[in-house]
Structure 1
Amino acid sequence: MKRVAVTGVGAVTPLGNTAADTWRGLAEGRSGVGRLETFDATTFPVRIAGQVKEFDPASAGPAAQRRHLSRAALFALAAAREALADAGPGWEETGPYDRGAVIAGTVGRPELQELVDMSHQLSSSGFRDLYRQAPGDVLLRNQNVGVTAVARAGDCRGPVISVSTACAGAAHAIGEAYRRVQEGECALMLAGGFDALTTWMDVLGFSLLGAITDRWNDEPERASRPFDAGRSGFVLGEGAVIAVLEEWESAVARGARIHGEIVGYGSTLNAYRITDSPPDGGGAIAAMRDALRESGLGPGGIDYISAHGTSTPGNDASETAAIKEVFGPHARELCVSSPKSMTGHLTSAAAGVNLIASLGALREGLVPPTINLDHPDPKLDLDYVPNTAVRRPVRASMVNAFAFGGTNACFVIRSAAAAGAGRAGAGSTPDRAAGGTAGEAAPAEGRAA
């Protein structure tokens, strides 16, 4: 089995239009949540979101490459271009059919206002005026167009896969891309997610579900408050994060800067409820155990969990229960924090922000905080890094992502320094002493129900 390095990262998020700016916002504990500006939400019960600011579409490439891309897909293309630049010179030497992409995004659909306008046109003049719509508009709603645009940015002609698993999408994309490199199918993969559910239809739909908070319209920066006793729902966000995953030996041979090494991945389904997380942690336990087991690190080898942490009462309690079950006594030694407290929920791109948080923690020994954690929930008693970043060495991090529908995805990434010292080359098995306690293996228990 091949080793898998992360050699490039790009991002467009509510905290900044680059990965570096996004990390800086996370480290500073800065909120990117504000008033909704994509439509007039004056009469809506929810009027806030984590929105991308001052984005220049030209950063996504020439106009000819952008003309059929949605707002979210433009974010993705800009992030992909940044990630490839960050990967440094020489990645192009990999043959194009040995490069691929796995990208997550929400399946496109017409805006509610667009449907209303079309209805008016039909009632007033029949189909005649509908034919005046731009033919290319259908491409703006096609998820695959954005995915293939990202793939074309890297001239990826190998496997190109579009993932639509909602809030777990980017984690699934990164995990599945990791598998392609690990198993030798490709030497380089682009992986991540993009989304922009800051629309009339989406805000209305999530409001009707009662999933997003409507209590902080006058103080948007305080609205997303994972693990806080006063949490009342998540905050919608938008953006994109794309990473370059590369076969370790190739990356080393070309002198690439390696941000970290992905060493484990797990994916499961709760088979519980469509919108609710199982109180006992459910399938998240199995996904976390699978990722930990594959990493070869014991519970003590993980220092930080970049949590899903949505700010909904059920999710935060379920994730806490799962962490306690998987990590046992070590759960209380972990730092656990939620980037969504600062960005809102980027849905299909959310785990990409968690990746940035993990890579920054590994690189700088600085764990980003969970902001707005002002009144700890007495039932949630782990170290959620309240409000201020914490300095501590981080050798390995776990990224969690749990979605509507009950899908779960987790992956483990460890620092380049630990990876270089702890693994002996392609095809080797993990050195279990490298990430923490010597000889400490992951739990032997089977999957939880």
Structure 2
Amino acid sequence: MKRVVITGAGAVTPLGNTAASTWRALCEGRSGIGRLTVFDASSFPVRIAAQVRDFDARAAIPAALGPGRLGRAGRFGVAAALEALRDADAGPGTYPAEACGVAMGASVGRPDLQFLVDTGLLRQRTGRPDAFLRQAPRQVLADNQNLPLSAVAQALDARGPAIGTSTACSGSGHAIGEAYRCIQEGDADLMVAGGHDSLTTWCDLLGFSLLGAMTSEWNDEPERGSRPFDADRSGFVVGEGGVAFVLEERDHALARGARVLAELVGYGSTLNAWRITDSPPDGSGAVQAMEAAIAESRLGPEGIDYVVAHGTGTPGNDLSETVAIKKVFGEHAHRLVISSPKSMAGHLTSAGAGLNVLAAIGAVRDSLVPPTVNLDTPDRRLDLDYVPHRARRTRVSAALINAFAFGGTNTGLVVAAHPEET
């Protein structure tokens, strides 16, 4: 199998509109959660979210790629991918077009939920079952998850593999993992991989609220709302954004003089076959994904120093993930450092795993582990080291990245220091 390295990173998140600013905010323990502004949420049970701010899509995305045709989430993803390409000093001509590809995780393309609700109200009001609101063709395109993928391919002149994944909160984990496989197996020399999402519409928030998945207890103190592993956790805080990376075949990357950020050495993907919204109490599914990623890395459990947790702040998920980590690592679980970027950035859903990969790369590179903020009250059932409140200086030679999703899909990825960069 060919070796795969990460040579570029890009991000548009509630913590910053670049990978560097996002990483700084994570290390500073700075929250990107605030009151919802994308719609009037004053009558909603949940009135907070982690939103991207001060982002200018037309400045970040060339006119030739049609930023006006992209939806909100797609703009985040394309901007992150373009930053990653710049960071890797890669573009058209770096490799043959057929050796370059794109893999992006995103929520499945669908009409805006507001549009569907308005259409339903129109039919109810008119009594006509065939009544339908007019929708511009451009809007139909904007709702398609493949449009951002195509824009990134156009920017790179990529004519190799094109992979779009829609596996909810593990979407970017699957996209990065499948891009890794493409390079390992010789189907590509370079892949742009990551994810983007923006589920901050009123229908999305109402749906998550009705499921009981979101916290409604911190509307007056938004920055305290996301509380992974804390005894007072009561649900996740929705976020939005895009995160992307450039993955390359190692020998080719070194031959062209690319700077290596880290090496991707393991990937596991599983399905719980349990419940749509709940994690299995015994951690199954997550256990198998972590074990598969670690086995492929050949590092063994004790070769992992840091676990970037899925860590949503829902009561069941955090307990299930802790149980799973203990099963996978045994006694070594108590020597690990574990933290959740969602405590600061909220849940970026399809882009969440990408943010966790960014945290892992930074930890390996800088020997600095971002904290889990808001971990004020220990839960006696959660007795591992979740790095509360402040970033910690510690050597990280390898990190495991977790992502678990509604529907029961799980991914594990292992990122390690590249020998030449150590």
* TM-score normalized with structure 1 length: 0.90
Could you tell me which residue of structure 2 aligns to residue 106 of structure 1?
107
The structural deviation recorded for 1:102 is: 1.1
Could you tell me which residue of structure 1 aligns to residue 230 of structure 2?
228
The structural deviation recorded for 1:116 is: 4.1
The structural deviation recorded for 1:166 is: 0.3
Q: Would the alpha carbon gap of residues 201 and 90 (structure 1) be closer, same or farther in structure 2, given more than 3 Å must change?
A: closer
Could you tell me which residue of structure 1 aligns to residue 40 of structure 2?
40
Could you tell me which residue of structure 2 aligns to residue 92 of structure 1?
93
Q: Would the alpha carbon gap of residues 379 and 44 (structure 1) be closer, same or farther in structure 2, given more than 3 Å must change?
A: same
SS in 1 for 2:323: helix
Instruction: Provide the rounded CA distance (Å) in 2 between the counterparts of 1:83 and 1:178.
Output: 16
Residue identity opposite 1:296 in structure 2: R
Task: Kindly provide the CA deviation profile for residues 191-225 of structure 1, in whole angstroms up to 9, marking residues without a partner as x.
Answer: 11000000111000000000000000000000000
Residue identity opposite 1:108 in structure 2: G
**2:297 pairs with 1:295:** yes
**2:32 pairs with 1:11:** no
Instruction: Provide the rounded CA distance (Å) in 2 between the counterparts of 1:308 and 1:128.
Output: 44
Fraction of identical pairs, as percent: 61
CA contact (8 A) 2:85 2:91 kept: no
Instruction: Provide the rounded CA distance (Å) in 2 between the counterparts of 1:339 and 1:372.
Output: 11
Residue identity opposite 1:240 in structure 2: G
Select 1:238's aligned residue among 237, 240, 248: 240
CA contact (8 A) 1:61 1:78 kept: no
Could you tell me which residue of structure 2 aligns to residue 69 of structure 1?
70
Could you tell me which residue of structure 2 aligns to residue 426 of structure 1?
none
Could you tell me which residue of structure 2 aligns to residue 343 of structure 1?
345
Q: How many residues align?
A: 420
The 5 Å alignment of 1:369-380 reads 369-380=371-382
Instruction: Provide the rounded CA distance (Å) in 2 between the counterparts of 1:322 and 1:404.
Output: 17
The structural deviation recorded for 1:128 is: 12
The structural deviation recorded for 1:111 is: 3.0
Instruction: Provide the rounded CA distance (Å) in 1 between the counterparts of 2:326 and 2:133.
Output: 58
Q: Would the alpha carbon gap of residues 353 and 101 (structure 1) be closer, same or farther in structure 2, given more than 3 Å must change?
A: same
The structural deviation recorded for 1:90 is: 6.9
Could you tell me which residue of structure 2 aligns to residue 442 of structure 1?
none
The structural deviation recorded for 1:91 is: 7.0
Give the CA RMSD over aligned residues: 1.8
CA contact (8 A) 1:111 1:201 kept: no
Task: Kindly provide the CA deviation profile for residues 10-64 of structure 1, in whole angstroms up to 9, marking residues without a partner as x.
Answer: 0000000000000001000010001111111110000100100000011122166
CA contact (8 A) 2:105 2:194 kept: yes
Instruction: Provide the rounded CA distance (Å) in 1 between the counterparts of 2:177 and 2:89.
Output: 23
Residue identity opposite 1:32 in structure 2: G
The structural deviation recorded for 1:151 is: 2.1
Residue identity opposite 2:108 in structure 1: V
Instruction: Provide the rounded CA distance (Å) in 2 between the counterparts of 1:128 and 1:271.
Output: 38
Instruction: Provide the rounded CA distance (Å) in 2 between the counterparts of 1:281 and 1:63.
Output: 46
Instruction: Provide the rounded CA distance (Å) in 2 between the counterparts of 1:324 and 1:143.
Output: 37
Could you tell me which residue of structure 1 aligns to residue 249 of structure 2?
247
Find runs of 4+ consecutive structure 1 residues off by over 4 angstroms.
119-132
Residue identity opposite 2:208 in structure 1: F
Instruction: Provide the rounded CA distance (Å) in 2 between the counterparts of 1:230 and 1:108.
Output: 35
Q: Would the alpha carbon gap of residues 406 and 419 (structure 1) be closer, same or farther in structure 2, given more than 3 Å must change?
A: farther
Could you tell me which residue of structure 1 aligns to residue 50 of structure 2?
50
CA contact (8 A) 1:165 1:403 kept: yes
CA contact (8 A) 2:92 2:155 kept: no
Instruction: Provide the rounded CA distance (Å) in 2 between the counterparts of 1:11 and 1:420.
Output: 23
